Chain A
């Protein structure tokens, strides 16, 4: 079954500390993986996608097919990073069916 697991509901870190938001997936095939972010009182928006291999707002995520993981990392957290983060998987069968994880709330403490 297709599944996305985000084991942490809440992650609190101090400003300047490294951040890692975990995401594991289950999918029979080669999925497309994304991180979406929802800041307070804002719409859900794309943060990054694995095929672009870019860094957005200092965040990176590497797809590890062996461990079926797509963890989101940032070396130095900022207070403005506080938000809800969702890992998402998209089917590559051409139908664009999405599976989202349950989300991790990141709180960056001053």
Chain B
């Protein structure tokens, strides 16, 4: 079954404590992306990756890091989380110019 998985699904943490949200896909898609969804702001792209070792900034990359060491995984790293990074995060994958497949979302709260 084609899947995009994210872990954890829910996370409450404190300001400054480094965290990683994982994203994994089993569809062998080249393109992966991270978004955050906030009320009234919709989805905003954080980072995307066209292929292994190729990443680029989206609209809101500040405070985030990513890496793409292997095709199936695209972790999102928050080195020093702050309360304004409290949000719902989505990972998405895509092959070629076709549609994006979204993960189930990770709800992050930073206190």
**A residues touching B (Cβ–Cβ < 8 Å)?**
6, 9, 32, 34, 36, 43-46, 49, 86, 88, 95-103
Q: Cβ of B102 < 8 Å from any Cβ of A? A: yes
5 residue pairs of the A-B complex, CB under 8 angstroms, read A32-B97, A36-B100, A49-B99, A97-B56, A101-B42
Main secondary structure of the interface of B (DSSP, over half): strand
Distance in Å: Cβ of A28 to nearest Cβ of chain B: 16
Interface residues of B (CB under 8 A from A): 31, 33, 35, 40-45, 48, 50, 56, 58-59, 90, 92, 94, 97, 99-100, 102-105
- Closest chain B residue, CB of each to CB of A47: B99
In the complex, what distance in Å separates the CA atom of A95 from the CA atom of B31? 10
CB-CB nearest in chain A for B59: A99
Q: How far is the CA of A107 from the CA of B103 in the complex (A)?
A: 24
Query: B58 touching A86 by the CB < 8 A rule?
Result: no
Instruction: Return chain A residues, CB-CB under 8 Å to B45.
Output: 97-100
- Within the complex, what minimum Cβ distance (angstroms) separates A72 from chain B? 15
Contact B58 A102 (CB under 8 A): no
The answer to whether B56 and A46 have CB atoms under 8 Å apart is no
